[in-house]
């Protein structure tokens, strides 16, 4: 019995690549997975400082050749250089035939059943709403993801960009927009135009901004930006052809 146990322990043991201590695994699968990843023991992983995670991500990050997004690696990939580094981002890996939903189309009956399950009191978020702080944190996190991973910019109006360029020539402003360096983030919002030197915020309102639901959200957005930046705020209403300065 002892000999058989010793043989089993030998099969499930492995040396740590750094300190060369013995690591005993529960089964062969976990041992094989650890060998592939060239993983370190728990004691060696505790020695690695937490701040190194961001540094290694910056060092071992590159652009995806298909979509142009960033491929950032964790400390495990950064420290264990023997691992094969990824050449394509995760989004491109799951596109086309590699996606588990490729070629599958849901029927109308299935869609109706899913909507019934997630509607009304059955929904986990029923009767709840995010606070102002959480909404602001979520907006900032979304903007950070766009800047970090090189996500494609949101939809913008090319007419608004042309109008902003005219304002820059007429009034001597330097408003930055989607086609001129990208939309700036002000108080957790991506605004249509912003001049950092003169602290001017500009918003271009199309016809759909006159809807009551959009008017409310625009007022909240406007109030938060003015409160945070204490800037001069301008709005252009497309249907009236009016440029308004909001006090």
Same structural domain, 153 and 238: yes
Same structural domain, 208 and 234: yes
Spatial neighbors of 15 by CB under 8 A, at least 6 apart, are 21, 22, 23
pLDDT confidence tier of residue 129, bands split at 50, 70 and 90:
confident
CATH number (domain holding residue 217):
3.40.1350
Same structural domain, 162 and 240: yes
Same structural domain, 152 and 241: yes
Within a domain: 109: no
Same structural domain, 229 and 155: yes
Range of the domain at 67: 52-91
Same structural domain, 147 and 85: no
| Parallel, antiparallel or unpaired: strands 61-63 and 232-237 | unpaired
Within a domain: 121: no
pLDDT of residue 40: 80
Please give the span between the terminal C-alpha atoms of the chain, in angstroms, as a whole number.
86
Per-residue pLDDT, averaged over 33-59, amounts to 67
Per-residue pLDDT, averaged over 47-53, amounts to 56
Summarize pLDDT for 176-225 with one digit per residue, the tens. 988 888 888 888 888 999 999 999 999 999 988 888 888 898 998 999 89
Within a domain: 117: no
Structural domain count of the chain: 3
0.85 surpassed by pTM: no
């Amino acid at each position: 019995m002892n000999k058989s146990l010793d043989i089993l322990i030998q099969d499930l043991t492995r040396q740590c690549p750094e300190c060369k201590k013995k690591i005993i695994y529960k089964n062969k699968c976990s041992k094989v997975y650890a060998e592939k990843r060239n993983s370190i023991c728990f004691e060696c992983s505790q020695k690695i400082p937490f701040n190194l995670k961001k540094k290694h991500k910056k060092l071992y990050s590159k652009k995806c050749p298909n979509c142009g997004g960033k491929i950032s690696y964790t400390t495990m990939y950064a420290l264990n250089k023997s691992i094969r580094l990824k050449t394509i981002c995760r989004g491109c890996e799951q596109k086309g035939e590699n996606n588990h939903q490729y070629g599958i189309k849901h029927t109308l009956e299935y869609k109706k059943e899913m909507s019934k399950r997630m509607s009304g009191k059955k929904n986990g978020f029923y009767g709840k709403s995010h606070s102002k702080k959480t909404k602001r944190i979520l907006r900032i996190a979304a903007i950070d993801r766009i800047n970090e991973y090189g996500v494609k910019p949101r939809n913008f109006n090319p007419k608004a960009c042309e109008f902003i360029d005219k304002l820059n020539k007429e009034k001597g402003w330097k408003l930055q927009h989607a086609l001129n360096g990208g939309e700036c983030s002000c108080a957790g919002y991506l605004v249509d135009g912003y001049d950092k030197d003169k602290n001017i915020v500009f918003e271009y309102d199309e016809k759909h901004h006159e809807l009551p639901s959009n008017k409310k959200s625009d007022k909240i957005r406007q109030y938060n930006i003015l409160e945070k930046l204490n800037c001069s705020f301008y709005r252009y209403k497309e249907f009236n052809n009016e440029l308004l300065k909001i006090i």
